[in-house]
Structure 1
Amino acid sequence: MIIRRKNPEVDLKLKYNEVLENCLILSLAIFLVVFLSSRTMQIKPHAKVVQQEIIKVEDIPETHQVRKLPPPPPRPSVPIETERKDISEEVTIESTELNLDEPPLPPPPPAPPPTEPVFEFYQVSKPPVPTKKVTPEYPEIARKAGIEGTVFTKLLVNQQGRVDSVVVLKGPEVFVDAALKAATQLEFSPALQNDKPVKVWVSQAFIFRLK
């Protein structure tokens, strides 16, 4: 049987107290050195240099703002008459010499005769009286169709008592031609106004009746 023994030089338990004492002594020595050195050191505060900015104030001249007014409206233009320079001052006057060789001008047309007054039937002192009566011819178409009617006319009787014109006032169309033909064949005694024959309008009716 082998018995092992510990070497007292490498035994940790035997060296523990010795190591602990050495550590405490070293710690106290370091603490004293630091404490004493801190008392001798003077801490100088760091002075911050502030640079002062110098502002130079210059005199600024006072300015005035000028407000621009709008331009005035344009004035209406008034035309001014000016003498025309393009008109020639020379005026040509036609010759007024008579040429006897030219044929004479034709005579002016005769003046129209004065219009004769025309009167209405009631305006004359003596109205016209029929001197020749004419019976109108009955149209064959109206006779076969059994049509009857009356045509009213207005006649212009001249100074000789004859009919110058006829105006149909109303009536069936089928009898108009026969009435016009009969009206132009009528004759009257002239109408008188201040003992003078005059033209006058008279009314005349043409009756168409089947027997």
Structure 2
Amino acid sequence: MPLRKTKKADLMAKYRRVFEISLITSLVLMIVAFKFFPDFGGKEVKIEGPQELFTVEDIQQTKQENRPPPPPKPPIPIEAPSDEVLEDIEIGETEIDINANVEAPPPPKEDKKIVEEEPQYFVAVEEMPEPIGGIQAIQSKIVYPEIAKRAGVEGKV
């Protein structure tokens, strides 16, 4: 059973009334202060300094040049299957013999669940790893796609 506040201990019940009373009181004090004490010492504040003169110049509006749009990107050629490849395909028989005896598929193999150990993480490394053969070995194994070569597509990856 939740605990309930008593009306005497509940501060939020009186919050709005207390806020309104304090607001009215502060406004009354401000009105009285300005009514009975309109002058603040009677001193006038004069700010004098050199006056700067400037001339107004008309600025001509610039025009934007109409530049031709950039050339479109070259299309990437997509290899379509040629007629020679299509002639090599043979379609097998598609007739179904309803009276033939069909053997049931073999039962599924039971896979043993392998419990993996938690990986061990190293916090500090004494020697930084290097690729086998250096960076030259990695660069020698990179093969640029033939389609991209023909399309003239270049760039960094």
- Shorter-chain TM range is under 0.3
Larger Rg: 1
TM-score (norm 1): 0.18
The structure where helix makes up a greater share of residues is: 2
TM-score (norm 2): 0.23
Using CA pairs under 8 Å that are at least 6 residues apart, name the structure with larger relative contact order, 1 or 2.
Answer: 2
